[in-house]
Amino acid sequence: MQNLADKRCFNHAQREAVARCPACIQFFCRECITEHDDRVLCAACLRKLARVPLLRRRGFARAFRGAQVMLGLLVAWLFFYLIGSALLSIPASFHEGELWQRGWLDKR
């Protein structure tokens, strides 16, 4: 095993290295290295690693929101379509068969 004390930070030449980034195989000081998902990575590799899933997640969220809006519009359209068709069917039966008028008059 290599002695870390002899190594210097990749970014800070005057600082002692505390860990080695497994991604870029460079030594880094305490300030430059970060723990991410139980893995020790340097700031540059972490940024590289974090950028892709974040964009993917944001894109997915946007797509999901778009799908939700579309579904909402579809439900709203269906709702008003059903109400509209129901409202259209009611006057049609009222007007076509004048039974309700005759029946109502005959009863009197």
- Residues near Zn ion (CB under 5 A): 9, 11-12, 21, 23-24, 29, 31-32, 42, 45
Residue 54 or 73 with smaller CB distance to Zn ion: 54
Nearer to Zn ion, 13 or 86 (CB): 13
Q: Can you say whether the dihedral through the CA atoms of 24, 25, 26, 29 is positive or negative?
A: positive
The Cα 92–Cα 88 span in angstroms is: 6
**In the bound complex, what is the minimum distance in angstroms from residue 42's beta carbon to Zn ion?**
3
Of 13 and 105, which CB lies nearer to Zn ion in the complex structure? 13
Burial category of 80 from C-beta neighbours within 10 Å (exposed 0-12, middle 13-18, buried 19 and up): exposed
Q: Are strands 19-20 and 27-28 parallel, antiparallel or unpaired?
A: antiparallel
State the nearest-atom distance from the C-beta of 1 to Zn ion, in Å. Answer: 19
Cα 23 from chain centroid (whole Å) = 28
CB of 22 to Zn ion, least distance (A): 8
The C-alpha torsion from 101 through 106 and 107 to 108, rounded to 10°, is 100
Least Å distance, CB 55 to Zn ion, is 20
